[in-house]
Amino acid sequence: MKPYQVLIFIAVVMGLLGVLYKAFPNGQLLHKQPSELSVEVSDNDTIEEFPIFAEAEIEEAETDTLIPQEPKVIIPKIAVDSTTDSRVFLQSFYSSLSESGNKVVRVLHYGDSQIEEDRMSQQIREALQNKYGGSGAGLLPLAQTIPSRTVKQQLRMNDRWIQAAQGPRRYLVYGPKRDQRDDGLYGVMGQVAVMNDSLVKGSETLTAVCTPLDGRKRYTQWRVFADSSVHYTFAGDSVFLSGQGKVYGLSQQSDTGVIVDNIPMRGCLGLVFTKMDREQLVSFYREQNVQLIIMQFGGNAIPSNKNPGTIQGIVKGLRQQVQYLRTCAPQASILFIGPSDMLTQIDGEWTTYPMVPYMDKLLRKMALEENIAYFSLYRWMGGAGSMARWQEIGLAGSDGVHFTRSGARKAGNAVAEWMLEGSEN
């Protein structure tokens, strides 16, 4: 382009800019229309200054009435450091125990296979009920696939005893995708039995027999958590059910005192609570006076992960679960129990999985930052290599991962003693 052509081009552009400036004074060309704006209202602004958005807010509030409002969560933040005794975050639970003589105070113990058979939960239950009253094993699934040490469960259908797999179909929030639901309606136990959904005809009429085994003071009350279309009656240790709806759980309990529910989730990382229907959780936690939620997860992440970044991601996910449960049960304290020591073979030698101490450290940090209590099974056992010593004295299984029943009793008693000691301070 020659010099005179450059001058002509510049003159034309300047002229066009002048025309546009007159057509859109005060730079309005640079602004979007109100419907596209993202408005931030400062403390000094009033809603009248933004009438279009005020109307939109009112309309949304009127048409959104079917969505349950989240309970308001007011959690006072407590400054923490490495010396903090995390039982300070159980003070709300400790305070609620003073009411156990007049009403139920409920504790939910969620965990992986380390708590199957009512292991650990049983010792926590006994300790709390011995001191604060209460009886019964608490929540039970309609069909128990893993035998409990506390209650023997049997199902009867078509005048014969059946296995759990022969009865109503079970949907689980954890485990294989084929057993999961799209609507999140699992109930508080993360599993639901649908009475008219079975390979065997006749699941619309069932008898569930739940016989206590632990020899402790018997329950005084049966409870059934199910759709309104499910009808039921009781006779001794039996509950007779009929209908075509969902059964979320049974409960053997007292009408006052502490109830501790054992809710095992085999193979679960603990990243499932956000998949469970909020309205169901909020309703149960509030109406059943849940004052403590125990989460015992992390161990299932260890064998298959050697990357610290992956462990960080899992702990981040567990933080989200803690935050979600807090919005569902703002009145409840939360206790996280970390994984035990776990063994693997490295160069032919049995040794602690490298990620166990790392996960334990991250979980404690997360717990303190979220103002929840933390009990380190790994440190309590004795740290690295302690699982091998437990194996030698019959407290751990040959897999180097799970406790024996004796080991689980010892661990459960340790958690219970730690909790009760904190209640006296």
Whole-number pLDDT of residue 244: 87
Which pLDDT band holds residue 196 (cuts at 50, 70, 90)? confident
Confidence of residue 24 (pLDDT cuts 50, 70, 90): very low
Lowest mean pLDDT across 4-13, 261-270, 380-389? 4-13
Mean predicted lDDT score pLDDT of the chain: 84
The highest-confidence range among 157-166, 215-224, 375-384, by mean pLDDT, is 375-384
pLDDT tier for residue 80 given thresholds of 50, 70 and 90: low
pLDDT surpassing 50 at residue 23? no
Provide mean pLDDT across the span 129-143.
96
Supply the pLDDT for residue 83.
Answer: 79
Structure confidence at residue 422 (pLDDT): 87
Q: Compute the distance between CA of residue 188 and CA of residue 141 in angstroms, rounded to an integer.
A: 11
What number is the average pLDDT over the span 38-64? 27
Summarize pLDDT for 365-382 with one digit per residue, the tens. Answer: 999 999 999 999 999 999
Domains and CATH numbers, the chain: 80-134+256-425 (3.40.50.1110), 139-254 (no CATH)
Contact by Cβ (8 Å): 311, 355: yes
**Does residue 74 surpass a pLDDT of 90?**
no
pLDDT of residue 59 exceeding 60: no
pLDDT at 8: 55
At residue 107 the predicted structure's pLDDT band, cuts being 50, 70 and 90, is very high
Q: What pLDDT score does 47 carry?
A: 28
Alpha carbon distance 362, 259 (integer Å): 31
> Which range among 25-39, 67-81, 203-217, 364-378 shows the weakest confidence by mean pLDDT?
25-39
- pLDDT value at residue 143: 86
- State whether the Cα torsion 363-280-262-423 is positive or negative: positive
Whose tokens are 């969620």? That residue is 110
The percentage of residues in the chain with a pLDDT greater than 90, rounded to a whole number, is: 69
Which of 25-34, 140-149, 404-413 is most confident? 404-413
* pLDDT at position 20 over 70: no
**What is the tens place of the pLDDT at every residue in 271-325?**
999 999 999 999 999 999 999 999 999 999 999 988 999 999 999 999 999 999 9
Residue 232: CB atoms within 10 Å: 16
Q: How confident is the model at residue 26 (pLDDT cuts 50, 70, 90)?
A: very low
Which band of pLDDT confidence, cut at 50, 70 and 90, is reported for residue 391?
very high
Query: Which pLDDT value is given to residue 424?
Result: 83
pLDDT value of residue 159: 87
Q: What's the whole-number mean pLDDT along residues 349-361?
A: 94
Average pLDDT over residues 148-159: 92
Its sign, for the CA torsion 324, 332, 223, 207, is positive
